[in-house]
Amino acid sequence: MKILYHPDRADIHLSSVLYALSDPVRLLIASAIRKSDERTCGDIDVPVVKSTLSHHTRTLREAGVVNVRIQGTQRFLSLRTEDLEFRFPGLLTSILDAFETSDEKKKLMNPD
């Protein structure tokens, strides 16, 4: 089975987390999986093609923002809420709360 790289909790860096979340589509992915324990990539409603979604998911995973679990042909995504909360208390919540009401989210969900 393919092993995907995930940084250890201690190797999650603030600047990398902020970079990973500095893109509206990546914010949307993080926001979409926020409410559930795990979601498959196919379940996430984002206006990008599959290869772009994979690229963004990788950036989020390598920064320590999401965990990706492979099962069969599916990839299950979850936020590393506990690790991020341990490293940077309150940070993820304040970023995702800011995104919920942002123009950027509105524009992505209603591009017309």
Task: Provide the pairing of β-strand 39-40 with 66-71.
Answer: unpaired
| 87, containing H or E segment | helix 81-87
55, 94, 106, 109: which one contacts a copy of itself (CB under 8 A)?
94
Contacts of 99 (CB under 8 A, 6+ apart): 27, 28, 30, 31, 105
Using CB under 8 A, which residues numbered 19 to 58 contact a copy of itself?
Answer: 19, 21-24, 27
User: Is there binding between residue 62 and a copy of itself (CB under 8 A)?
Assistant: no
The footprint of a copy of itself (CB under 8 A) covers 13-16, 18-19, 21-24, 27, 87-91, 93-95, 97-99, 102-104
